[in-house]
Amino acid sequence: MRKLLGKTLKCTLDDGRIATGKLICVDRLKNLILGHVLEERTVDSSFYCDEDYAATNGSKVIVAKRELTQAMIPGIHLIKVEIEKSLYEEEIEPILGYKS
């Protein structure tokens, strides 16, 4: 885990949100603290605009994004945590002792 500190992680939560940021810390309950976070979520376009606008643009969903200084991602809500393939190959694979 120490090799991942300060590295960029992409976390998928059980409500569909995706949070991408730099790992600051992790606790025994698998809660993650991320810094410089970009949160993305898909929202039905009718929530933000009228049906005529959605119909003319052909999109039923909007990807809403927001930037956060820090975010705590509860371990209980984590579905998936991803890292860049190059980071995995350089930092994690040698520790595990096998290649994917």
pLDDT for the residue 3? 81
**pLDDT, tens digit, 9 for 90 and up, residues 39-91:** 999 887 666 666 665 556 666 778 889 999 999 999 999 999 999 888 888 87
Cα–Cα distance for residue pair 85/49, rounded to 1 Å: 38
Cα 50 from chain centroid?
A: 29
Residue with the larger pLDDT of the pair 92 and 47: 92
SS3 state of residue 16? coil
Q: How confident is the model at residue 33 (pLDDT cuts 50, 70, 90)?
A: very high
Q: How confident is the model at residue 96 (pLDDT cuts 50, 70, 90)?
A: confident
Q: How confident is the model at residue 92 (pLDDT cuts 50, 70, 90)?
A: confident
pLDDT for the residue 69? 97
Helix (H) / strand (E) element for 86: namely helix 85-87
Phi-psi domain of 36 (left: phi exceeds 0; alpha: psi -120 through 50; beta: other)? left
Residue 14 has pLDDT above 80, yes or no: yes
